[in-house]
Structure formats: structure tokens, C-alpha cells
Amino acid sequence: QVIKCKAAVMWEANKPFSIEEVEVAPPKAHEVRIKIMATGICRSDDHVVTGGLVTPFPIILGHEAAGVVESVGQGVTSFKPGDKVIPLFVPQCGECKSCLSTKGNLCSKNDIGAAAGLMPDGTTRFTCKGKAIHHFISTSTFTEYTVVHESAVAKIDAAAPLEKVCLIGCGFSTGYGAAVCTAKVEPGSTCAVFGLGGVGLSVVMGCKAAGASRIIAVDINSDKFAKAKELGATDCVNPKDFKKPIHEVLIEMTGQGVDYSFEVIGRTETMAAALACCQYNYGVSVIVGVPPAAQNITFDPMLLFTGRTWKGSVFGGWKSKDSVPRLVADYMKKKFVLDPLITHTLPFTKINEGFDLLRTGK
């Protein structure tokens, strides 16, 4: 059966979300239809609105969510109606080179780079006012019901609180994993984290969990510092308080720069600063924020020649289908907290207010 429900449709860039009635088609073979119970707002959704991340319009955004399986398509054996699940914006097909490698997690079936905005078979499951609506990075969670491919969804503990563990669908896992999985921060090391939104705070938590002795939190909004300290930051630095470039400030604070730095904003200037502030020979800098479309970085190659490592991390380096159920289990065992990452809880119809809170740093 086609389901009619409410969704937040983005008809074109730089406009508010429009709450519309949409038709959600039943799942085809190897697809799962999910009732979304809770969804987080992530800056990556806003990057689409502002044109920093290029996707086709009209589109249903949202990629950090948790819900319950409503129905399954032909050939689906690992999910049944009623299962609690988290959609995965990085699928895990289990067959491509990245999935088969122990080093990789970015499944080739992802729709992140050159986004088609469609299901793997090249069609969409959403219609609104007679128009086809695009999907967003295999998930599309700003809707009461969505359809995802079975490779892009993970079954989780039936007892998990969906309004909390939805954050494991992106923000928490991305940040925490960048520290423990991608960078592999060691005990006693010094870290710098640029950007203290939900993902940046999750990086702080990951550095602390890995045993870092010093975690320097960097943000131009000092209102973020109290929460950063609560979650493990040892120092908080506002670049606006200094006349010199921030990487010089961090090198002075640490002697030779930090062991690990993380850029969790998505700005080329801070990516360059994060690279420059890590130790000249064995420092590792990780890009976690989504880079803006059509912008390049010019940097002195001597920064890398001396031995630094510059790397990126998508979804915290976790293999999604394998890791999300384990992370939910760890949350249930109280191995980490999620509550401090939740600042506001709003009804779905107030999604535009949610984005206003995001954009004002609240």
C-alpha cells in the first residue's frame, strides 16, 4: 500500500522546509519501509539548503534518525515489521572493495559524492503534488515514513530509546569514531578539536574515552565551552581572543603542536589550521566536517613532507551495519552519554525553528 504522510520537503535551495503531504511507495525487493520516530538535525542537511553540498531538488533531507520497520520488500530476511532500526547514510553492501577491506568503511553503494538522490534501482519512492521527490544519502528521514535499501539500515536493541539513539545514526558516531576509529587516539596524547557542535563534542568524548591527557577545544562561540569541558575538554580556546593565527597559538600551548587534530566544521581555512597545528613529524589531522562544494585548499607541501598525516573520516570510520547495533548496545550499557548532545526537542512541524537554532549556534 502507498502511505500518505507528512514530510518536510525542500523544493529549492535557500528556502524554508515546506511541510507537505507526500505519498510513500511500498518497498520493492530488498527494501525496507520505516516509520521514523525521531530525527536529529545535522549541519550536513543545512549544507544542502545553502548549496555547500550539492544534491538534486526537490528533496526530502534528514539522515540521523531512528524508527520502526513498517513493511519489507521481497527477499528481505533480516528485518521484519516492528523491528527498531537506524537508517544508515553510509550503506554496507558487504561486497565492494571498501566493505571487504578491514581498512575501509565507505561502501561504494553510497550516494554522498555525486549524489543521484535516488534508490539503488534509479527511481524514487516519494511523490508530492504529482512530482517525484529525491531521496537524500540513502536515508531521507525528515518524513513520517521513508524507504531505504536493506544495505542502508541496521536493526538495534528493542529496548533502546529512539529519541536518544537516533544520534548514533550520524552525529555521535561520526565524531566519536573519528577519534577512536579513524585517528586511533592513544592514551596520554594531546588533541585539538575545531568546532564544538554535536559532532565536535562527540570527538571530545572519543578523545577522552581513548585516554587523551589534553583535549583543546576550539570554537569562535565561547558559549560552547562549558559543555565541552563537561564532556572532557581540558582547555578551551576562542581564536577571536588572539591576534595571531590559531595554529600558532596551539603550537605555543603544546610545545610542538598536538598529536591529533580534528576539523569538525567544514571550512577550508580551519582544515588548513588543523593540519598546521599538529606535530610536524608524526601529527595526524582528520577532516570530519563536510567540505564545501567547489572550494579547494592551497597549502605548503612541506607540512606533509616532514611526516604529518592528513586524512578524512566519513561516519567515524565505522562499518555501519556492523557497528551501529554495537554502539547502541554500548549506550545501553552506559559506556557513553547522549543527553548532553540534545539541546532541544521539537515537534516535527517546527523543523524550520530547529534549523534556526542550528544556524544561531544554539
Active-site amino acid positions: 42, 44, 47, 63, 170
Contact 277, 261 (CB under 8 A): yes
Contact 141, 65 (CB under 8 A): yes
Cell of 53: 553540498
Element (H, E) at 155: strand 153-155
Helix axes 351-359, 43-50, angle to 10 degrees: 90
Q: Give CA–CA dist 273/287, Å, rounded.
A: 11
Which residues in 215-247 are b (16+ Cβ under 10 Å) and which e?
bbbbbbeeebbebbeebbbbbbbebeeeeeebb
- The DSSP result for 67-90, as a single string, is EEEEEE-TT--S--TT-EEEE-SS
Q: Give CA–CA dist 282/308, Å, rounded.
A: 5
Q: Give CA–CA dist 307/320, Å, rounded.
A: 31
Contacts of 351 (CB under 8 A, 6+ apart): 8, 17, 19, 41, 142
Taking residue 345's Cβ as centre, other Cβ atoms within 10 Å add up to 8
Report phi then psi at 39, rounded to 5: -140, 140
Cell of 26: 511500498
